[in-house]
Chains A and B, each alone.
Chain A
């Protein structure tokens, strides 16, 4: 089954960023995003500096720009919304190239775009330099309640199971000459969804039984202790601390 030790967002590498303990990275990303969101939207230069900071991290992690940009596509729905804002928002209006745009809407669009993009980029960097299992360990280290970590780890494990079962069922369907071509076949697909759930569950149940049989009682045993040295913490927290300095400047200037 392969049990989710790698995910398609992860980019294998041996950079200093990859080597950082997962919980320091999680803390750093979270703090960074909080700082970005609390920055006043008028301080445009601050957002440029944040982008430079992230670019530095990406360079240190040896994540190519193309990879990062491709992953940023996830925010397209927000972009669509942001583009609409200047047209539908209320308030004072300004003429740009013959179009009447709302000043407030323009600011709003900028705000959502800048902060949203920086947030997405930070998460993408985290996901591409941290293995899934490490992320879970990191969350566990950051004292996320064990029940949540347990659900998350089952979720990731079953993600594989579901994909696997889905593939088998598709092969079985196609071997019998079925091909989903349009709306007429949605019924078949919908019924497959129910069957998929039962099949995945029963397979997942067997995995769980195997775990329980080996003494699993709700939390993953710690096989390799993850600890972070002070140097690693300071290295990871350099990002949000720098960002905080920028943010404070943004509020005072």
Chain B
């Protein structure tokens, strides 16, 4: 899914760069809470692992190339903020070292593969962990589902970028079908690897799984025959974590809406892709003299709106909306559930 240079036009690439920079900045602030001295090497290891996993590249017919993404693994092991940073670092280093993914497309790549996967995966994961019984198996199952969903979500985000800034007008329907279709398959592989890794880690070192921090019981120490409580050091970060995804989600939602709406409206002034797409949509909306009116493109665009640009922008907003709502729905549902039965979970009572 690494987008090369020149694949997405310059204005959209730049806008994506701004979004990515914003997400990284938010994550840098948030990661200070997640990363203590002992989790710092874990973040590096997760990045190295993802780097290795992303090397398994295989071509995808209508997209660029497909591979495992690793965002879910990162989010679950080191937390969503640090997860975003991990995958971003991987993408940066791949761009510089292996020329995998263009440097100017870094913003697009980070937004797709670091931000979307991590946010979607973490929201789904936390949601499921809260809903399912408090057992280790639940963590593994949640990791599986989270990883499974995160990959097609990234594919959908890619298609969205393609829709507003693609430099060639390959029918969007085809791109979407191919991307999401293939990435559902990749998602299964991703889910298996994520669940296995998280399962293995939680069995041996439960302290290393950020997403399962609420599940460990407070420690008891025996000193010279007497039993004393160990000072609770983990409680504070766990509480902060309960609040963190919401901010991240809101930031992500805001950024994507901004990107899809405002930026795509602006970007349509560019000579390349978007104008074509938007123009096609405009023609679709007018239902006149266009040979491909019954092509998959026809059901894109927003009907009844004759302004091509506006229609394109709206379609973008709706696309983002659907993706994000799907991702956040679980989170909101869980949040409400948690306010309903307040004291069911001992750790995350604060919202």
Contact = CB atoms under 8 A, between A and B. Distances in A.
A–B contact via C-beta, under 8 angstroms: yes
Nearest to A38: B10
A156 B49 CA distance: 10
B254 interface: no
B199 to A, nearest CB: 7
A126 B61 contact: no
A166 to B, nearest CB: 9
B48 A147 contact: no
Q: In terms of DSSP, what is the predominant structure of the interface of chain B?
A: helix
- For the complex, would chain A's binding face be called helix, strand, loop or mixed by DSSP majority? helix
Interface string A2-14: 0000010100000
A204 interface: yes
Interface stretch (A58-66, A76-84, A174-182, A224-232): A76-84
A52 to B, nearest CB: 18
A94 interface: no
A253 interface: no
B102 A89 contact: no
Contact of A90 (B48, B89, B171): B171
Contacts of B272: 41, 111
B44 A158 contact: yes
Interface string A108-129: 1101101110111111101100
Q: Which of A115, A198, A201 has the most CB of B within 10 A?
A: A201
A74 B170 CA distance: 23
Interface string B78-93: 0000000110111011
Interface in A105-156: 105, 107-109, 111-112, 114-116, 118-124, 126-127, 132, 135, 145, 147-148, 150-156
A118 to B, nearest CB: 7
B28 interface: yes
B15 to A, nearest CB: 14
Measured as residues with beta carbon below 8 angstroms from the partner, the interface class of chain B is 35 or more
A194 B200 contact: yes
A26 interface: yes
A116 B7 contact: yes
Interface string B84-123: 0110111011011111101110000000000000000000
B44 A123 contact: no
A205 B45 CA distance: 9
B204 A198 contact: yes
B44 A150 contact: yes
30 contacts: A9-B98, A30-B103, A34-B104, A71-B99, A74-B98, A77-B57, A77-B59, A78-B7, A88-B174, A89-B170, A90-B169, A90-B292, A91-B276, A105-B168, A116-B102, A119-B104, A145-B28, A147-B28, A147-B31, A147-B35, A151-B40, A151-B85, A151-B89, A155-B44, A155-B45, A155-B47, A193-B196, A194-B200, A198-B200, A218-B40
Given A38-B10, A147-B28, A148-B85, 10 more contacts: A77-B59, A119-B99, A119-B102, A123-B96, A126-B96, A148-B89, A155-B45, A162-B48, A201-B41, A208-B40
Interface of B: 4-7, 10, 13, 24, 28, 31, 35, 37-38, 40-45, 47-49, 51-52, 57-65, 85-86, 88-90, 92-93, 95-100, 102-104, 167-171, 174, 192-193, 196-197, 199-201, 204-205, 208, 271-272, 276, 280, 292, 295, 297
